Structure 1
Amino acid sequence: MEFDLASQPEIVQQAAQYVLQGWDLAKGWLLSPAAWSQFGLLLVAWFLAVLANRKLLPLLNKLLSPEEGNLGLLAKARLFVRQFLPLLLPLLAFAFTAIGEQVVRSIFESGAVIAFGKRVFLFIAVRALVRDIITDGFLKLLGKFVFVPMAGLYALGLLDTVMEQLEAIVVPLGNLSFDLLDVIRFAVVGGIIFWLGRWSNDQSASLIKKQEDMRPATRQLAEKAAEIAIFGAAFLVFMNIMGIPLTSLAVLTGALGVGIGFGLQKIASNFISGIILLLEGQATVGDYVELDGGEAGTIVRMTARAIILETFDGRWIVVPNEDFIVTRVVNFSDQGSANRYEAEFSVSYDTDINKVPDIITAAVSTHPRVLQAPEPPDCELRGFGDSGVDFAVEFWVNGLDDGPNKFTSDVLFLIWNALKEHDIEIPYPQRVVELKGADIQVS
């Protein structure tokens, strides 16, 4: 049966031509003794690879598994190599096939079938790499839609043809034009380079955080400097690989400068303010701060644009860095510094007030979080109220009296129990009411 494809689109004609060529090639392989011998060799290579994999896999797995709890550099290297063990089977098949290819070519002077088998084993290795080894979401997506299809086309011998077709499709964009192959190359190379940049940035940030001798603000500044350096270098490498001259970005950088001067001046101001804050170290992660605008909370993160505060009720407040420069900021805690609080109470006028300070000071000092330095608890007479004598006890603690810490509440409990223990009355409001006029009889 013959089909007239002259009236069909060119792509349909090319596809039909490839199908016919593949059919002719398949018929040639099926009728050729050399092809059958190569098919047999492929099966033998796969069988030997399976046997070798069964013997080697347990040994390599045991050799590359470090002792439990061992987190040294060598142990991490062994774990890194161990994750590639799923590639052992297809790579062994590839190696055995390559050895047999030399024998077949010396006998039959032909090795097309066995070369095809090698490409298939390579495709299996790439598929195993993407499916079983790569865990990063971006790389897995890139492998699923780019690397595996490319390996499949390579196995079928169509990779060069497809690349030529993609290169022939030109996309015009104003005065510029580019082909689809450049777009794919741009996306793949850019994605890999900036993924490496992100990975390097995570590793450098982890290393810097382990430097406990450095001040927290210095660590934050070092992390930001490393991030800028890594991604700046990644951008330059990417431009160099893609062959894009940096001089072509002069117009873009000029427009960006104008945009910063007008529309992005607040962002630029916050960025510079963030660098100043990191250099000065007046506020850092872990400090509890309060601004003039009423925002208060613990600093949990310092970014290039803003500082994030976490309140005691779990809410996050995003405060621009500029506010920490141009407004008054009260820092209640500089990495765990002591703070002073006071608890007020009253006693009855019938009390011998000379005994109260010693009783209360001794009671408050029993609290495990109350400090004796810079000053021990101090009970002071504050005044003579309408209903009783007013006192207040001042005490120092490490931390803030809110959230998980209820220092004042604990101290008031101690005061109550101490007064009750010494039979000291805590007064309640009393008023004398005088009634004038007619006599009132009370029964």
Structure 2
Amino acid sequence: MNWDLSAQPEIVQRLAGYATQGWDVAKTWVLSPAAWSQFGLLVLAFLLAWLITRRLRPYLTRVLTPAPDARGFMPMLRRFALIFLPLLLPLIAFALTAVGEQVTRSIFGSGAVIAFGKRVILFVAARSLVREIIEDPLLKVLGRFILLPVMALYVLGFLDTTIDTLNKTFINLGNISFSVMSLVRFVIAGSILFWLGRWSNDQTGNYIEKQEEIRPATRQLAVKAAELAIFGVCFLLLMNIAGIPLSTLAVLSGAIGVGLGFGLQKIASNYISGVILLLEGQATVGDFVELDNGMAGTIVKTTARAMILETFDGRWIVVPNEDFITTRVINYSDQGSSNRFEVEFSVSYTTDINTIPDIVAAAVRKHPAVLDKPEPPDVELRGFGDSGIDFGVEFWVNGLDDGKNKYTSEVRFLIWNALRDNGIEIPYPRRIIEMHEPGTT
């Protein structure tokens, strides 16, 4: 094929050159006995790999599958190995093809066809990895749009040429100039490092949260410190991979300092307040708190900027960390500390009030949530009302009298039943009305 393409654009001429080279290689392969032998070895290697995989995969599945309730390092390692079983066929085919390549090179002195087949098998393995093994959305996107195109270029033999072209193509932004290849490398490395950082942070956070002997506030602080350390290392690695000198961070830190001075005071204040709260342990996840402005709820999550409260009606309130430092905060929980509540009641004036404390205290003590420490139920005489004698009983429980817990309501039921069983009347307002006829007294 001798076409005159001198008048065509350079890209057309280059593509035509690639097509010509491919046509020449194809003719050589079709007419060469060595090439046909290599094709035959490729087919044989694939069929043999398929037969081996068909018998070996059920056996490996049975051996590697642990008991459903098995825990520990070895069961986890076996479950991890099971994930990669879809790669068994291409890996066996690759190994057999490599053996066939050595045979053909020793006999014919050439192995181009079978080497091409090995690259195709690697592409099949990469495709199985992306489609059947990788489950993380970010890694799946990277595999689909980066790994598979790179493997396709490698199979066709265009990978080195493509890399060279990307290295020679530059993008200019003012005084800044960088190659397209460096941009691609930055995106790939940044995505992988971000995923590794997120995965490491999740694993570290889960491990720290399981250490129940450590105070909850200390665990939260450790999680935040680990998060900063992990993503800090990822950032430094990314700068190194991208070829950005760390000395330029001095300028960046100066810009950040100016930004903090003008527009980021609140963000910095909230972040530092969050660290102080974690260090002092005044309020942490699980505590029920009430702020000075009346907002109240259980702390369900702490972030670098704010704490999230969940009210008893299921609503979430985002409260900046600074509010916990600069305003008054009432902590009702303090990680499981007891709280005191009281219930008021009255009895009629015909009652022997000396028996009331023992009767009511014994009734309240029957409630499973009522504590004997720091104090047992205490019945107090509060006053003499218009209709009856007023009493109050104080009792301690772990938790709050709201949401799923209705301590005061349940205690009122106990008091009512105890007074009724002992024949004690609970008074209600009574009025005596005297009516006189006119002219009488």
Count the aligned residue pairs: 440
Q: Does the 8 Å CA contact 2:186/2:241 hold for their aligned counterparts?
A: no
> Does the CA-based 8 Å contact 2:348-2:426 persist in structure 1?
yes
* Amino acid in structure 2 at the alignment position of 1:147: L
Deviation at 1:63, TM superposition (A): 2.7
2:126 is aligned to 126
Q: How many angstroms apart in 1 are the aligned matches of 2:278 and 2:169?
A: 51
Specify the code of the residue in structure 1 equivalent to 2:100.
Answer: G
Aligned to 2:411: 411
Consecutive unaligned residues of structure 2, counting only runs of 5 or more, are none
Shift of 1:8: 4.2
> What RMSD, in angstroms, separates the aligned Cα atoms of the two structures?
2.0
- 1:322-377, Cα deviation, whole Å (9 max, x unpaired): 11111111111122111110011122223222222222112111111111222111
Q: Unaligned 5+ residue runs, structure 1?
A: none
SS in 2 for 1:354: helix
Aligned to 1:59: 59
Between stretches 54-63 and 146-155, larger displacement belongs to 54-63
Q: Distance in 1 between matches of 2:74 and 2:338?
A: 44
Tell me the distance in 2 between the aligned counterparts of 1:357 and 1:213: 41
Quote how far apart the aligned CAs of 1:271 are: 1.0
Given that 2:291 and 2:330 are in contact with CA atoms closer than 8 Å, whether structure 1 keeps it comes out as yes
Task: Compute the displacement of 1:425 (Å).
Answer: 2.1
Q: 1:349 matched to which residue of 2?
A: 349
Provide the C-alpha distance between the structure 1 equivalents of 2:439 and 2:378, rounded to a whole number of angstroms: 52
User: Following the alignment from structure 1 to structure 2, what is the Cα–Cα distance between the partners of residues 150 and 49?
Assistant: 25
The equivalent of 1:245 in structure 2 is 245
Give the conservation status (yes or no) of the 8 Å contact 2:218–2:279: yes
Q: CA deviation at 1:438?
A: 5.3
CA positional deviation for 1:290: 1.1
User: Structure 1 residue 4: deviation in Å?
Assistant: 6.3
Q: Shift in Å at residue 435 of structure 1? A: 6.5
Instruction: Tell me the alpha carbon deviations over residues 246-302 of structure 1, each in whole angstroms, 9 at most, x when there is no partner.
Output: 012222221111001111111111111111111111222111111111111111112
Partners in 2 of 1:240 and 1:167 — Cα distance? 18
Q: Which SS does the other structure have where 2:353 is aligned?
A: coil
C-alpha spacing 1:439/1:13, structure 2 compared with 1 (3 Å): farther
Please give the alpha-carbon distance, in whole angstroms, between the structure 2 residues aligned to 1:267 and 1:241. Answer: 30
SS at match of 1:300: strand
Distance 1:71 1:309 in 2: 35
Residue in 2 that maps onto 1:28? 28
Amino acid aligned to 1:203:
Q
CA distance in 1, matches of 2:432, 2:164: 104
Is the partner of 1:149 in helix, strand or coil? helix
Tell me how far apart the structure 1 counterparts of residues 222 and 86 of structure 2 sit (CA, whole Å): 39
**Residue pairs, 1:379-418, within 5 angstroms:** 379-418=379-418
Q: Higher mean Cα deviation, 391-400 or 71-80?
A: 71-80
Q: Distance in 2 between matches of 1:14 and 1:386?
A: 106
Match in the other structure for 1:428: 428
Distance 1:15 1:348 in 2: 105
Shift in alpha-carbon separation, 1:358–1:439, aligned structure 2, 3 A: farther
In the aligned structure 1, how far is the partner of 2:122 from the partner of 2:402?
Answer: 62
- Separation in 2, partners of 1:100, 1:383: 103
The residue that corresponds to 2:39 in the other structure is 39
CA drift at 1:58: 2.1
* 1:120 CA displacement: 0.1
Bigger mean CA offset, 94-103 vs 176-185: 176-185
* Equivalence for 1:159: 159
Question: Deviations for 1:42-93, whole angstroms, at most 9, x for unmatched residues?
Answer: 0001011111112221222233222332211122122222211111110111
Please tell me the residue identity of whatever aligns with 2:240.
N
Question: Partners in 2 of 1:49 and 1:361 — Cα distance?
Answer: 81
1:296 matched to 2:299: no
Separation in structure 1 between the aligned mates of residue 6 and residue 390 of structure 2, nearest angstrom:
107
